[in-house]
Amino acid sequence: MIEKDSKIYIAGHRGMVGSAIWRALEKKGYGNLIGKTSGELDLRNQNAVSEFFSKETPEIVIDAAARVGGILANNTYPYPFLMENLQIQNNLIDAAHKYEAEKFIFLGSSCIYPKLSPQPIKEDYLLTSSLEPTNEWYAIAKIAGVKACEAIRKQYDKDFVSLMPTNLYGPYDNFDLKTSHVLPAMLRKFHEAKENEHADVVLWGSGTPLREFLHVDDMADAVAFTLEEKLPGHLYNVGTGSDLSIKDLAELIQKIVGHKGKIVWDSSKPDGTPRKLMDVSKMESLGWKAGIGLEEGIRDTYRWFVNN
């Protein structure tokens, strides 16, 4: 049993996912949470991470720290997306193992699965064929993290588990048009176009790819569930189990924002993977299910964006 005063270290506690996990655990009464900013602890530095663990000896470690970005950022900066993510997670996993953490929850991404996976994507499809080329650097790093946790579980019988969320969005998301993911980028584009006399909005690709979106508070709830249960396997998908086209997403965001201009699709830009729907039956069979609807979640995120 995890106690309410168990020492829980949330790596990346200032990011969208980490801050949502922090809020969710506080709400559940966990009172011994630890977080360090990147200025206080550089997770790429093995010695610094080891020193931190030897001093703090957290009982539970939740790895929500990563270098993240959309297609453009992944494609433009392949080396840091590969190397920095490897450094961060290797240092955390190894230190958690070395300093006897009872539980480690590793957060990855649905991009670990092959580009042309059968749909919906089951956990078993990992490493069955080639990745989406535009973000394979990030995906390879995350696959290494999944395998490291699986190896520790197999060799030492420790409770190291990996959760693979679908596309996340919500408060504290990254709304920078050069490095953000599709949903926050669209929110910002439609908002700015509305402010600019409802100017046309140009969006990448054809609008036909299908995507699934999960509110970050649902993700945090899945982490809390994993914290309080001993899951029998090492890898679990976390999502809603339903998707929509990028075109439908754009029209939904346009409606929520109140933009009256035109949407222009730039088909010279890449679409990425045609479809990425997660099979979430493993998590659902254990008793966890997403609870926030997409329209409700986007309205909540848009309010946060406007206020911040």
Pair 86, 215: CB distance under 8 Å: no
Q: What pLDDT was estimated at residue 1?
A: 74
Which of 138, 169, 236, 302 is flagged as catalytic?
Answer: 138
Tell me the percentage of the chain whose pLDDT exceeds 70: 100
pLDDT tens, residue by residue, 32-89: 999 999 999 999 999 999 999 999 999 999 999 999 877 777 888 999 999 999 999 9
* Residue 181 pLDDT exceeds 90: no
Q: Is 288 annotated as a binding residue?
A: no
Q: Is 18 annotated as a binding residue?
A: yes
Q: Is 166 annotated as a binding residue?
A: yes
Please report which confidence band the pLDDT of residue 257 belongs to, taking 50, 70 and 90 as the band edges: very high
Please say if 302 is a catalytic residue.
no
Q: Is 168 annotated as a binding residue?
A: yes
Pair 135, 148: CB distance under 8 Å: no
Give the range among 12-26, 173-187, 203-217 with minimum mean pLDDT: 173-187
| All structural domains of the chain | 8-173+213-242+276-292 (3.40.50.720)
Give mean pLDDT, residues 216-225. Answer: 98
Contacts of 276 (CB under 8 A, 6+ apart): 110, 111, 113, 117, 121, 166, 167, 209, 210, 211, 212, 243
Q: What pLDDT was estimated at residue 49?
A: 98
pTM of the complete model: 0.94
* Residue 256 pLDDT exceeds 90: yes
Q: Is 12 annotated as a binding residue?
A: yes
Give the CA radius of gyration of the chain. Answer: 19
The mean predicted confidence, pLDDT, of the chain is 96
Give mean pLDDT, residues 192-213. Answer: 96
d(CA 94, CA 96): 5
Instruction: Say whether 201 sits in a helix, a strand or coil.
Output: strand
Q: Is 306 annotated as a binding residue?
A: no
Q: What pLDDT was estimated at residue 270?
A: 84
Instruction: Say whether 131 sits in a helix, a strand or coil.
Output: coil
pLDDT tens, residue by residue, 87-112: 999 999 999 999 999 999 999 999 99
Q: Which residue has the higher pLDDT, 274 or 51?
A: 51
Contacts of 259 (CB under 8 A, 6+ apart): 190, 191, 193, 194, 198, 201
Please report which confidence band the pLDDT of residue 179 belongs to, taking 50, 70 and 90 as the band edges: confident
